Amino acid sequence: MKNLVVDIGNTSAKVGIFKKEELLEERVFQDEETLEAFIKSVQADAILLSSVRLQPALLLERIYQIPIRYLLTHTLPLPIVNAYATPETLGMDRLAAVCGARSLFRDQHCLVIDSGTCITYDFIDASSVYQGGAISPGLNMRLRAMHAFTAKLPLVEVQDVPLIGNSTVTCMQSGALNGMRAEIEGTIERYQQHYAELRVILCGGDTHFFENSLKGTIFAVQNLVLRGLNSILLHNVSQ
């Protein structure tokens, strides 16, 4: 069985083609027209679409050549238990990421750290119960905030710099990067106080800034959301 999963974000869309649990191909698209043309060119048995945009159902309706079609919402059955108090407000990418963690590390406590526009922390326990986590500003957001809410600080790009900055620009970069690194390490340590056997999984666009500098054993899995979407699709097809 060939599965197609689509993760449409604010700026780009990622597509994964799976044969059962094996990822065969991964693509990234910047516009919906090219994305739709590619999807229609793939001979797949089932598709799951996740989107932060307003009308993903319209796109799914046009993918008529794939017989089994699902749209990821908070009401779709999951391979985990969702204990989030407000599931209708939960980002589908966060939900997919913890499902991806479960598919890779079954029967283990997992902390998923997604470093993108925001940095999100999501915890799923060894019994496959998603508990929730935390959201805080990402790297670019921290730098943009310093520029937006002050009179003189410039708008600078993310760059890995030494701990001690020697200019205003490098001080800002050091503050954003090393401050976020300290936040991640502190969060991991606090989770480990409650869960000694903890798998820590990094994903997201800014992962490369942290994966080799954090303490302990960290697993970097860039296609975690796609793997999670596939596990949700497989769960629904099996039902």
Give dist(CA 237, CA 100) in Å, integer: 17
Give dist(CA 219, CA 108) in Å, integer: 14
Give dist(CA 233, CA 235) in Å, integer: 5
Catalytic residue among 31, 45, 93, 160: 93
End-to-end CA distance of the chain: 15
Give dist(CA 70, CA 56) in Å, integer: 11
Tokens standing for 189? 């340590």
CA distances from 204 to 45, 155, 156, 158, 160 (A): 28, 22, 21, 15, 17
**Residue 93 is among the residues annotated as catalytic for this protein:** yes
The residues that are catalytic are: 93
